[in-house]
Amino acid sequence: MPESTIPVLTIDGPSGSGKGTISRAVAARLGWHYLDSGALYRAVGVAAGWADLDLDDAGALVRCAFDTVVGFRDDAAGEPRVLVNGHDATDELRTETAGAAASAIAAIPEVRSALKERQRAFRQAPGLVADGRDMGTVIFPDAGWKVFLTASAEERAERRYKQLKDKGVSVTLDGLLREILARDARDASRAVAPLRPAEDAVRIDTTGQGIEAVVERVLALVPGHGA
Ligand SMILES: Nc1ncnc2c1ncn2[C@@H]1O[C@H](COP(=O)(O)OP(=O)(O)OP(=O)(O)O)[C@@H](O)[C@H]1O
Ligand SMILES: Nc1ccn([C@H]2C[C@H](O)[C@@H](COP(=O)(O)O)O2)c(=O)n1
């Protein structure tokens, strides 16, 4: 099947809007592949940290983006794991520190270019669900279905708070809200591929909506897959 005819559904949105959760569930229901593009940016940020690189050294970060090897696999319990340069970095990748580092390096245009083809290579039959910030605008502008997920910043902070508490991570709700607002501002204001809905994206505000309801709303967009 020529790559351009393989169906793609993109789900973009700010941090904590539920992109990863919804995309994974929708991909499973469709039997399609899943791309967590944020994990690629987080992996470069984490690899840069391991190599003690300066987050202001754009040249070194671009080299790091080209050199960092990222692998995705499910463990025996079916939980997704991410390998960075052969090491299981799943837990480190999910920290707020890694998210902030990813957001900072993602503002460097050459880092974005370095990751572009790697993301497009995930377009494999029978289809792909891709989540991130620029999936519908830059990486897969020809996607058949585009979603832009939102939720109030307060609800997103509460979701993250609950998620981290459940993992035994000590955080405060106020601190998380500040981090979420700072990351939204940085991701939306950068010059290249800023966080914004594609013109043809369907916007879904998930504030007060459960995960299953959102999954059904997204699936309803794909002919033959609604409830
Ligand atoms: N509609 C929803 N209602 C309640 N909780 C939700 C909903 N969607 C997602 N969540 C929960 O919110 C948390 C964050 O979701 P998720 O990691 O999918 O967000 P994200 O947009 O991918 O965030 P990030 O961009 O930071 O990776 C998870 O604990 C998830 O279970
Ligand atoms: N398509 C993407 C995906 C991610 N980023 C950057 C900006 C985010 O703050 C950071 C972490 O992403 P997350 O794992 O929270 O989805 O990575 C981006 O610029 N473009």
- Looking at residue 225, what is its pLDDT? 79
Model confidence pLDDT, tens digit, residues 64-79: 999 999 999 999 998 8
* Ligand 1 contact via 90 beta carbon (within 6 Å): no
Q: Which ligand 2 atom lies nearest to the CA of residue 135?
A: 1
Going from the Cα of 220 to the center of ligand 1, the distance in angstroms, rounded, reads 20
Model confidence pLDDT, tens digit, residues 121-161: 999 999 999 999 999 999 999 999 999 999 999 999 999 99
Is pLDDT of 224 > 90? no
3-state DSSP call for residue 44?
Answer: helix
Share of the chain above pLDDT 70, in %: 98
- In angstroms, how far is CA 1 from the centroid of its own chain? 26
Average pLDDT for 33-60: 96
- Looking at residue 167, what is its pLDDT? 87
pTM across the whole model: 0.96
- Looking at residue 227, what is its pLDDT? 67
Q: Domain locations in the chain? A: 3-219
Question: Which ligand is nearest to the Cα of residue 156, counting in written order?
Answer: 1
Burial tier of 79 (Cβ tally within 10 Å: 0-12, 13-18, 19+): exposed
Q: How confident is the model at residue 2 (pLDDT cuts 50, 70, 90)?
A: low
- Looking at residue 186, what is its pLDDT? 92
Model confidence pLDDT, tens digit, residues 84-124: 999 999 999 998 899 989 999 999 999 999 999 999 999 99
The reply to whether 170 sits in an annotated binding site is no
* Ligand 1 contact via 206 beta carbon (within 6 Å): yes
So what's the ipTM on this one? 0.98
Question: Which ligand is nearest to the Cα of residue 93, counting in written order?
Answer: 2
- Looking at residue 14, what is its pLDDT? 96
In which residue are the tokens 């289809």 written?
A: 127
- Looking at residue 88, what is its pLDDT? 97
The size of the chain, in residues, is 227
- Looking at residue 174, what is its pLDDT? 96
At the second CATH level, the architecture of 3-219 is 3-Layer(aba) Sandwich (3.40)
Question: Which ligand is nearest to the Cα of residue 185, counting in written order?
Answer: 2
Average pLDDT for 155-174: 93
As a whole number of angstroms, the longest Cα–Cα distance in the chain is 50
- Alpha carbons 56 and 78: distance in angstroms, whole number: 38
- Looking at residue 106, what is its pLDDT? 96
Q: How confident is the model at residue 169 (pLDDT cuts 50, 70, 90)?
A: confident
Encode 105-134: b = buried (16+ Cβ within 10 Å), e = exposed: bbbbeebbebbeeebeebbeeebbbbbbbb
Q: Whose CA is nearest to atom 25 of ligand 1?
A: 15
Residue 153 CB neighbour total at 10 angstroms: 19
Q: Which of 15, 17, 19, 21 to mutate to test the pocket of ligand 1 (most atoms within 8 A of CB)?
A: 21
The reply to whether 16 sits in an annotated binding site is yes
Going from the Cα of 216 to the center of ligand 2, the distance in angstroms, rounded, reads 24
CB 55 within 8 A of CB 61: yes
Q: Lowest-confidence range among 54-68, 161-175, 207-221? A: 161-175
* Ligand 1 contact via 211 beta carbon (within 6 Å): yes
Q: Give the mean pLDDT of the chain.
A: 95
